[in-house]
Amino acid sequence: MKKKILIISGGQSKERLISIQTGNQVYKELKKNGYKVRICEPDHQLVDLVKSFNPKIIFNALHGQYGEDGYIQSILENMNVPYTHSGVIASAKAMDKEISKKIFLKNKILTPSYIKYSYNESYFILKSKIKKKLKFPVVIKPINEGSSVNVYICNEFNLNQRLKKLKFYKEILIEKLIPGREIQAAVLCNKKLGAIELEPKRQFYDYEAKYNSRAKTKHIIPVDLQKKKFDKLMNISLKVHRLLGCRGVTRSDFKYYKGKFYLLETNTQPGMTKLSLVPEICAHKGISFIRLLKFLLDDASTNK
């Protein structure tokens, strides 16, 4: 008899709908392959459900805040049931864009220059800092969101308007805009998996481009890079996976410009929807969706 698996999806983050899609895809595939599966929300009934269902492994299908920032991981640690994807510390480091950038820079991994902005600071001083350190246009983003939620490209004239949309975050990251190609690379169970290039029809690979099929983002695989460059891309991805202490699968997002790879961020909970990139990379490598899920289940742990 195959293992009992409890899938946690949904949650309260701005990526709730994507998490539900991921959870449903995983549920269908595991069910089809003979696993005894339950799916649930990360609510007050979770502890009782874990006790009554007694799963061998918990599949973490959550995205965004509380799901991939170490919060749910700390709860799962106390339950002492192995769970998929990265642990508490790795999740927290990867989700915090400022902390992860500091790790990248300390380890000589190229990443766009940035400044942190607090909303109690002067807007005019901010503009001066941007002109001096970053130059327009810039990217503004929350420090701890995923899926390009509330990410905007700004010039000198619409910066203030866009900043107002993020005011409820209190602090945000402002990053130098790197033009060039959008390339994303995946690591699976501490091994280099592969990469995919994206050509969005929109201004950049934002939330709509990621999850709305009508956005018609072009997916290019294999990526057209010289072997030496491709190897460098994958080596950086594996290096950051290990530096952060990740397990399971990660997807690192890069801009490739003038022969250099700029690491934007590393995602510890990549999506498993029909439009998601990791399953697509796996398919190109001859790894079926169920085999990908088995890799993640086999790599599940209670190790922080």
Catalytic residue selected from 13, 69, 271, 276: 271
Q: Is the peptide bond before 270 cis (omega within 30 degrees of 0)?
A: no
Active-site entry in 35, 114, 265, 276: 265
Task: Name the catalytic one among 147, 150, 252, 276.
Answer: 147
Strand order of the β-sheet with 4-8 is 36-40, 4-8, 57-60
User: What is the amino acid identity at position 302?
Assistant: T
Is 156 one of the annotated active-site residues of the chain?
Answer: no
> Which of 301, 288, 290 lies closest to 248 in space, CA to CA?
301
Q: Let me know: does 195 contact 206? Beta carbons within 8 Å.
A: no
First to last CA, the chain: 29
Let me know how long the chain is.
304
Q: How many CA atoms lie within 13 A of 251 on its CB side?
A: 20
- Spot the catalytic one: 29, 175, 182, 253: 253
Q: Is 15 a catalytic residue?
A: yes
Measured CA to CA, the distance from residue 243 to residue 238 in angstroms comes to: 9
Distance CA 23, CA 274 (A): 12
The first and second tokens of residue 25, run together, are: 């895809």
144 carries an active-site annotation: no
User: Could you say which of 9, 11, 13, 15 is catalytic?
Assistant: 15
DSSP for 218-238, written as a single string: EEESS----HHHHHHHHHHHH
Is 265 considered catalytic here?
Answer: yes
Q: Which residues pair with 251 in a beta bridge?
A: 186, 267
- Using DSSP bridges, classify how beta strands 218-220 and 171-176 pair: parallel, antiparallel or unpaired: unpaired
Among 227, 97, 111, 84, which Cα is nearest to 172's?
Answer: 97
The whole-angstrom separation of Cα 146 and Cα 14 is: 9
Q: Of 10, 29, 145, 251, which one is the catalytic site residue?
A: 251
Q: Is 259 designated active site?
A: no
Catalytic residue among 71, 83, 114, 211: 211
Tokens read off for 67: 């799901």
> Is 96 an annotated catalytic residue?
no
Annotated active-site positions, please?
Answer: 15, 147, 211, 251, 253, 265, 267, 271
